[in-house]
């Protein structure tokens, strides 16, 4: 023992506690890196952590935003490779948070907020891409290959009366006679085609009908930025749309008179009997969701005055019904002391409001916007029953997440975007320090108290209009500038006068005493229409804008969300992207040439004698759809001028030629206006003198213009075109559609 070597304590791994501690990794200690390189990641992480803490970081609304970002990325990216890459990027972001700050380590505790944000955000973004991709594969219906005329026999799934258009619209489940595939199609049936059983109540949901119809694949956007009906039809499962040719035969009316839809139509007819004219059509829309009887002039006035949201059964109407039921149940039960002492009245009132909201949703057709509003309202009722704040960013985030999980395709539609933008604007204004200080209780007269509420209502209306304007301009290319003023009067009028009067009229009709309420309803809705027409008729009431690019609308969205979801001074940083987006939107170039996907419709923007813009149209189309698309995308309000009537244009029976001057250069545009036979040598010579040739037919190879030949072969690949000659540059429908299932441009379908 005495000769045993002596081992120093510092060399014994078992006796030295420091020796048992694992050496830190390079990214934790900075070993092997310069001090500057080791310090900047930690400083960035520390500042991010401090910012999240100081700015009131709440995960729920931001998770909903990231989930929606994943959905929108799927729509924006062209195909499966990019969709998988987006999902992988979200997974990589979550994995980086786990690797940088492993669970249980001191750094994970120190960077808890940042670690959670990266981990949850990455996973939620990837889930958004996956959910919309799965939804598309499950519900998407491939369109028919080409237009055709066919005999249809199928079951009526949905009937939509459109009296103002002189037709009804039927959605049918049919089996294709050619390939035996079951499909869902939508057919417009003129009212004069209905007779016998088809004109009665038997033509309803569940009935079996037979008709001859012309069917077409759901239409792709006519122009870049135009309404994408093919995408909407894909998520509705529609394989074709068309029009009936001849009478409709009801093969079987069994099951065609029950259900909620016939009740909805009877309710609509009952209201229109009690209230005449345009007011009756709007009253029917409020009571049953039936907007088919609203005249076009009234609908346009409501749109241009910023009041069109009142015609769609959505958040405002569902909230009004639920709030009225909630208050009524709460007050009535409070009159019963024995019950009030034993039952939580807010829970009972929430149950009554929920039943009223669900019933109203079903009665008005249970369309997706209405169901979304009902789902969000149910969450608010749950918060009230639990004693939580009903109108909070967290509740909005939960409601948006539920809606997007059930209907992820709604993220790209204006209804969802406008609804939640308005709610976010209301919460952002009401929760701001200036607003709270302005509305704080104080010793004052009743009129001063009421005056401050009116001022706050107007300010909130202005903020809502500003929040909605980018969305409206992006989707509809026009916005009512005086909508805030009109809504300050119209929303209280509808919520507190018209809708309660309609409810009282229906209730008292049970005993035959509803006439006074219907008379008052008609007066209130006449006032609403007067406000709409007065507002829409003011000079400069409507702002028109060409198709806004993706970058400006993305900046508007990012800036608006930043302003709404952060608190304190940090939210003011959102003004920077909003200002930049406004600048980019202001300088959005007006397209010089617009070409429809079939090549038949061509619009050319030119300056008129008064310095404004006019639109020249190659064909004087009787289609209001084509005309409205050309005017909206060009940002022009005046009626288009036929190209043949414009000075400087040279037109024959087959072609028109016009010289357009842009950026100091003359562009010669040659456009086919008919399919008359032209000698190939003469056509080749004309093409050689032109910069751009546009035709709705195939052109021979000998036709070689100097810059662009947009014939039927080219347009089948690209879809509609928007051409800016100042660049020059071309925007196509195809580049925005990618390889999504509803786009068949690459195959010429």
Ranked by mean pLDDT, the top range of 68-82, 479-493, 610-624, 646-660 is: 68-82
For residues 479 and 540, the answer to whether their CB atoms sit within 8 Å is: no
Assign 723 to helix, strand or coil. strand
The pLDDT of residue 721: 94
Residues 6+ apart with CB under 8 A from 681: 702
- Residue 110: its pLDDT value, please? 57
Residue 256: per-residue pLDDT? 56
Whole-number pLDDT of residue 55: 58
Joined together, the tokens standing for residue 128 give: 């958004």
Strand order of the β-sheet with 655-662 is 650-651, 655-662, 665-672, 692-694, 708-710
Range from 114-118, 255-259, 441-445, 715-719 that averages highest in pLDDT: 715-719
Buried b (16+ CB within 10 A) or exposed e, 25-60: eeebebeeeeeeebeeeeeebeeebeebeebebbbb
β-strand pairing of 692-694 with 665-672: parallel
What is the arithmetic mean of pLDDT over 465-484?
A: 84
- The predicted model gives 184-210 an average pLDDT of 81
The answer to whether the CB of 135 falls within 8 A of the CB of 170 is no
d(C-alpha 329, C-alpha 355), whole Å: 11
Q: What are the residues whose beta carbons fall under 8 Å from the beta carbon of 236, sequence distance 6 or more? A: 139, 184
Give the pLDDT band of residue 20 (cuts 50, 70, 90).
Answer: very low
Q: What is the percent of the chain with per-residue pLDDT over 90, rounded to a whole number?
A: 32
Q: Are 365 and 261 in contact (CB under 8 A)?
A: yes
Is beta strand 238-244 parallel, antiparallel or unpaired with respect to 182-190? parallel
Task: Characterize the bridge pairing of strands 708-710 and 721-724.
Answer: unpaired
Mean pLDDT across the stretch 220-248? Answer: 92
Does residue 13 carry a pLDDT above 60?
no
pLDDT over 60 at 416, yes or no: yes
The 10s digit of each residue's pLDDT in 295-329 is 888 988 888 888 887 877 666 678 778 888 888 88
Task: Place domain 148-258 in its CATH homologous superfamily.
Answer: Nucleic acid-binding proteins (2.40.50.140)
- Evaluate if residue 49 carries a pLDDT over 70: no
Residue 631 pLDDT class (50, 70, 90 cuts): confident
Lowest-pLDDT range of 25-39, 633-647, 703-717? 25-39
> φ and ψ at 337, to 5 degrees?
-55, -40
Cβ-contact 104, 79 below 8 angstroms: no
Task: Return the SS3 of 374.
Answer: helix
Q: Residue 340 — very low, low, confident or very high, per pLDDT cuts 50/70/90? A: confident
Strands 148-162 and 167-175, sheet pairing: antiparallel
Which comes out higher in pLDDT, residue 113 or 120? 120
Tell me which residue has tokens 């062209």: 78
Q: Residues spanned by CATH 2.40.50.140 within the chain?
A: 148-258
| Under 8 Å between Cβ of 624 and 646 | no
d(CA 409, CA 416): 10
> Cα(369)–Cα(416) distance, rounded to whole angstroms?
7
My answer on whether omega of the bond before 728 falls inside 30° of 0, hence cis, is yes
Structure-model confidence comparison of residues 709 and 430, the more confident one: 709
Mean predicted confidence (pLDDT) in 443-453: 84
Read off the tokens for 600. 């038949």
* Cα gap 655→695, rounded to integer Å: 9
Provide CB contacts within 8 A for 379, sequence distance 6+. Answer: 395, 398, 399, 402
Kindly report, residue by residue over 258-295, the tens digit of the pLDDT. 567 778 888 888 999 999 889 999 999 888 888 888 88
User: CB neighbours (10 Å) of residue 247?
Assistant: 15
- For residues 314 and 374, the answer to whether their CB atoms sit within 8 Å is no
Rounded mean pLDDT, 335-339: 80
What pLDDT sits at residue 75?
95
**Is the distance from CB of 172 to CB of 156 less than 8 angstroms?**
yes
Q: Per-residue pLDDT for 59 more than 90?
A: no
Supply the pLDDT for residue 8.
43
Instruction: Report how far Cα 708 is from the mean position of its chain's Cα atoms.
Output: 34
Query: Both ends of the chain: CA-CA distance in Å?
Result: 96
In the prediction, which pLDDT does 38 show?
45
Whether residue 632 has pLDDT greater than 60: yes
Which of 233-247, 257-271, 418-432, 715-729 is predicted least confidently?
A: 257-271
Sorted by sequence, the CB contacts under 8 Å of residue 651 that are 6+ apart come out as: 643, 644, 657, 673
Check residue 346 and give its pLDDT. 80
In percent, the amount of the chain with pLDDT more than 70 equals 86
CA distance 420 to 436: 22
Give residue 357's pLDDT: 85
The average pLDDT across 107-135 equals 84
What's residue 519's pLDDT?
A: 95
Q: Pairing mode, if any, of strands 602-607 and 593-595?
A: antiparallel
Would the pLDDT of 350 be above 80?
A: yes
pLDDT for 255 beyond 70: no
Q: Which of 261-265, 635-639, 685-689 has the highest mean pLDDT?
A: 685-689
pLDDT, mean over the chain: 83
- For residues 263 and 365, what is the distance between their CA atoms, to the nearest angstrom? 10
pLDDT at 162 over 80: yes
Phi, psi torsion values for 120, nearest 5 degrees: -70, -40
pLDDT at position 586 over 80: yes
Is pLDDT larger for residue 34 or for residue 170? Answer: 170
| Mean pLDDT to the nearest integer, 627-639 | 85
Tally the C-alpha atoms within 13 A of residue 14's C-alpha that lie toward its C-beta: 1
Structure tokens that stand for 588 in this block: 């959005």
């Amino acid at each position: 023992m005495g000769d045993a070597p002596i081992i120093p304590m510092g060399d014994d791994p078992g006796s030295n506690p420091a020796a048992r501690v694992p050496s830190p990794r390079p990214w934790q200690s900075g070993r092997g890196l310069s001090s500057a390189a080791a310090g900047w990641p930690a400083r960035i992480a520390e500042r991010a952590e401090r910012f999240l803490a100081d700015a009131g970081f709440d995960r729920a609304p931001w998770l909903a935003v990231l989930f929606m970002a994943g959905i929108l990325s799927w729509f924006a990216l062209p195909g499966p490779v990019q969709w998988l890459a987006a999902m992988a990027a979200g997974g990589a972001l979550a994995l980086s948070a786990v690797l940088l700050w492993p669970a249980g380590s001191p750094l994970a505790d120190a960077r808890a907020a940042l670690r959670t944000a990266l981990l949850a955000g990455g996973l939620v973004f990837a889930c958004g891409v996956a959910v919309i991709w799965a939804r598309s594969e499950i519900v998407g219906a491939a369109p028919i290959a080409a237009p055709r005329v066919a005999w249809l026999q199928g079951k009526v799934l949905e009937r939509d009366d459109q009296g103002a258009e002189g037709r009804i619209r039927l959605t049918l489940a049919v089996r294709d006679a050619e390939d035996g595939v079951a499909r869902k199609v939508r057919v417009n049936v003129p009212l004069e085609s209905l007779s016998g059983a088809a004109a009665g109540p038997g033509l309803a949901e569940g009935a079996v009908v037979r008709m001859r119809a012309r069917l077409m694949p759901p239409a792709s956007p006519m122009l870049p930025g135009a309404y994408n009906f093919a995408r909407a039809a894909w998520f509705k499962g529609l394989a074709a749309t068309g029009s009936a040719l001849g009478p409709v035969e009801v093969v079987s009316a069994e099951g065609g008179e029950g259900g909620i839809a016939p009740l909805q139509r009877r309710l609509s007819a009952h209201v229109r009997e009690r209230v005449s004219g345009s007011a009756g059509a709007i009253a029917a829309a409020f009571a049953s969701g039936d907007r088919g009887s609203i005249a076009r002039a009234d609908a346009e006035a409501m749109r241009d005055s910023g009041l069109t949201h009142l015609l769609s059964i959505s958040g405002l109407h569902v909230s009004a019904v639920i709030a009225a039921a909630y208050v009524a149940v709460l007050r009535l039960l409070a009159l019963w002391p024995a019950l009030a002492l034993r039952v939580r009245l807010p829970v009972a009132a929430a149950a009554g409001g929920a039943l009223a909201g669900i019933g109203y949703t079903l009665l008005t057709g249970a369309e997706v916007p209405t169901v979304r509003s009902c789902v969000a309202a149910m969450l608010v009722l749950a918060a009230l029953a639990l004693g939580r704040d009903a109108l909070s960013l967290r509740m909005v985030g939960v409601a948006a997440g539920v809606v997007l999980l059930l209907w992820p395709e709604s993220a790209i539609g204006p209804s969802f975007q406008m609804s939640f933008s308005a709610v976010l604007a209301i919460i952002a204004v009401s929760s701001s320090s200036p607003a709270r200080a302005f509305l704080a209780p104080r010793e004052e007269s009743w009129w001063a108290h009421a005056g401050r509420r009116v001022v706050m209502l107007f300010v909130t209306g202005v903020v809502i209009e500003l929040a909605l304007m980018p969305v409206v301009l992006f989707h509809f290319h026009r916005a009512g500038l005086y909508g805030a003023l009109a809504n300050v009067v119209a929303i209280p009028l509808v919520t507190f006068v018209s809708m309660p009067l309609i409810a009282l009229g229906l209730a008292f009709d049970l005993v035959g005493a509803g006439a006074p309420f219907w008379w008052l309803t008609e007066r209130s809705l006449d006032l609403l229409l007067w406000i709409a027409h007065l507002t829409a008729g003011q000079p400069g009431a409507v702002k028109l804008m060409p198709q806004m690019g993706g970058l400006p609308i993305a900046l508007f969205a990012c800036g608006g969300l930043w302003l709404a979801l952060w608190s304190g001074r940090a939210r003011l940083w959102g003004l920077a992207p909003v200002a930049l987006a406004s600048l980019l939107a202001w300088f959005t170039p007006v397209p010089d040439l617009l070409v429809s996907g079939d090549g038949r419709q061509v619009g050319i923007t030119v300056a008129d004698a008064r310095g404004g813009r006019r639109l020249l149209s190659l064909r004087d189309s009787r289609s209001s759809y084509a005309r409205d698309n050309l005017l909206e995308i060009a940002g022009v309000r005046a009626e288009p001028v036929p190209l043949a009537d414009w000075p400087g244009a040279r037109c024959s029976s087959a072609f028109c030629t016009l010289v357009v001057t842009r950026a100091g250069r003359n562009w010669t545009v040659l456009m086919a206006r008919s399919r008359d036979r032209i000698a190939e040598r003469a056509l080749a010579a004309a093409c050689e003198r032109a910069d751009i040739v546009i035709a709705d037919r195939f052109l021979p190879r000998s036709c070689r213009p100097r810059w662009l030949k947009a014939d039927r072969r080219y347009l089948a690949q690209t879809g509609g075109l928007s051409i800016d000659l100042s660049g020059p540059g071309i925007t196509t429908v195809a580049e925005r559609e990618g390889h999504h299932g509803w786009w068949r441009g690459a195959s010429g379908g």
